[in-house]
Amino acid sequence: MTDDLDAVFKALADPTRRTMLDRLRERNGQTLGELCDQLGMARQSATQHLGVLEAASLVTAVRRGRQKLHYLNPVPIYAIQQRWIGNFELPRLRALSTLKRRAEEEQMASIPAYVYVTYIESTPERVWHALTDADLTAGYWGHSNVSDWQPGSPWQHVRTDGSGVADVAGTVLEADPPRRLVLTFGSGQVTFGITAHGDIVRLTVTHADLASQDEYEAASAGWPAVLSNLKSLLETGHVLPQPPWEMHAEQRAGQMARNS
């Protein structure tokens, strides 16, 4: 039994072999070629890994005509579970797993949506155009927002340095010109609400589903800078003398580096 488990532990120690087992768990009975295609691996290397897995009885090969199909055999893993965990430990492990999952969910839920409201002397139509026109966004945002702005269409937040790099990409979820625009924005979601009041417009930006405190802080720094520049452009015809996001240059450089 010890020798058998030594072979199992040796087989499981390699991340490539664990990935093979994951692929067979997802779809059992695959050929060598199918596994190679998924893993981007040469047939010789894949054959060697499968040999180790077969020696540990973690994979069983069955011939069907000219094909050799590989199947996951979970019995050795079950033997490990029975020996070192056992039924007497399962309730405690399930409790710990539940506690960890709830803690992670609470951490996610504890990050609030970021909301920014500004008032602009303009019309809803001009504000909508400023949010969705590639040339205008390049002027006050430093990126071009590119899309046909139809629900379900992709959109990109493309650098203006000619690199073609999109620092943010997502999908248009709702588009109700000139009142409401909803986008996926990275891992989150952004809603632009445009409300007219006489000769002014209230623009409300809500950035929800932020994945981390770092993302919340980035939103808190970024949206006031961008929307102040937008307000200046619509009310005076020109953007602010200096790009306001330069006050957060280090944070912005880190974000752009992650997207390069």
pLDDT digits (tens, 9 = 90+) for 141-188: 989 999 999 999 999 999 988 888 998 999 999 999 999 999 999 889
The pLDDT value recorded for residue 141 is 93
Q: Are residues 120 and 226 in the same domain?
A: yes
How would residue 1 be classed by pLDDT, with cut points 50, 70 and 90? very low
Instruction: Quote the CA–CA distance of 189 and 230 in Å, as a whole number.
Output: 20
Is there a domain that residue 19 lies in? yes
Q: pTM for the complete prediction?
A: 0.56
* Counted domains in the chain: 2
| 17 & 140 share domain | no
3-state secondary structure 122-161: CCHHHHHHHHHCHHHHHHHHCEEEECCCCCCCEEEEEECC
- Residue pair 191/176 in contact (Cβ under 8 Å)? The answer is no
Asked if 204 and 133 sit in the same domain, the reply is yes
**If we measure between CA atoms, which residue out of 72, 60, 80 comes closest to residue 9?**
80
Per-residue pLDDT tens over the stretch 67-78: 889 998 888 887
CATH number at residue 36: 1.10.10.10
What CATH number is associated with residue 223?
Answer: 3.30.530.20
Residue ranges of alpha helices (H) inside 57-123 are 75-80, 86-109
**Is position 52 within any domain?**
yes
CB atoms within 10 A of CB 167: 17
Determine the pLDDT at residue 259. Answer: 44
Which structural domain, as residue segments, surrounds residue 68? 2-73
Nearest-angstrom CA–CA distance, 46 and 257: 35
